[in-house]
Amino acid sequence: MVEAGQATYLAIDGHRLMLPPRLADLVCQLRDQVEPRWALGRLGTPAPWLFPGQSPARPAVDVLFGVRLHRYGIDAHAGRNAGRLALAAELPASVLADLTGISISTAERWSQWAKRDWAAYVGQRAADDRERIDSPEHAKQPAKHTNRN
């Protein structure tokens, strides 16, 4: 956990994930518990997980996080979908599938939803080029010739 000003981040595998305020409060409460969450075996060693699973030697299963968060009024779907849509706009479907653990057909659907229509951009660029060529400043410049063999 990293607290910087009013923002709280969860450090996971070298990356910082900014937590929404309600979730940050819950995670801080969990971290600051006086009682250990679990004790491993007879040694009484605290579990190394912030979110221990049913077995203290393993972390909590990710599927159950959604259920647990929903109990506290936190819906993670909107953030997950926004992140997936942003990735789908920038990555090929095969990379999106591998990165997020979804099937290739699901990744292809996300890529279709994120598809950008570049036609307006190309049309505007062409219009800008025509406008630049027709400008008086362009007429004053000497013509550039290329030697093609």
Quickly list DSSP for the chain. -EEETTEEEEEETTEEEEEPHHHHHHHHHHHT-SS-S-EETTTTEEPS-SSB-SSTTSBPPHHHHHHHHHHTT---HHHHHHHHHHHHHHS-HHHHHHHHT--HHHHHHHHHHH----HHHHHHHHHHHHHHHHSHHHHHSPPP-----
* Count: domains in the chain: 2
Low-confidence ranges of the chain (pLDDT < 50): 41-42, 148-149
Cα gap 104→117, rounded to integer Å: 22
Predicted local confidence at residue 6, as pLDDT = 85
| Statement to judge: residues 1 and 71 lie in one domain | yes
| Statement to judge: residues 65 and 120 lie in one domain | no
Predicted local confidence at residue 137, as pLDDT = 67
| Statement to judge: residues 1 and 68 lie in one domain | yes
| Statement to judge: residues 60 and 129 lie in one domain | no
Predicted local confidence at residue 13, as pLDDT = 65
Predicted local confidence at residue 105, as pLDDT = 93
Predicted local confidence at residue 44, as pLDDT = 55
Predicted local confidence at residue 106, as pLDDT = 93
26-60 pLDDT, tens per residue?
A: 888 877 776 655 555 445 555 567 777 777 677 77
Predicted local confidence at residue 56, as pLDDT = 67
| Statement to judge: residues 59 and 106 lie in one domain | no
Q: Could you tell me the CA-to-CA distances from 149 to 114, 120, 143 in Å, in that order?
A: 43, 35, 19
Q: Which domain holds residue 96?
A: 81-135
Half-sphere exposure of 93 (CA within 13 A, CB side): 13
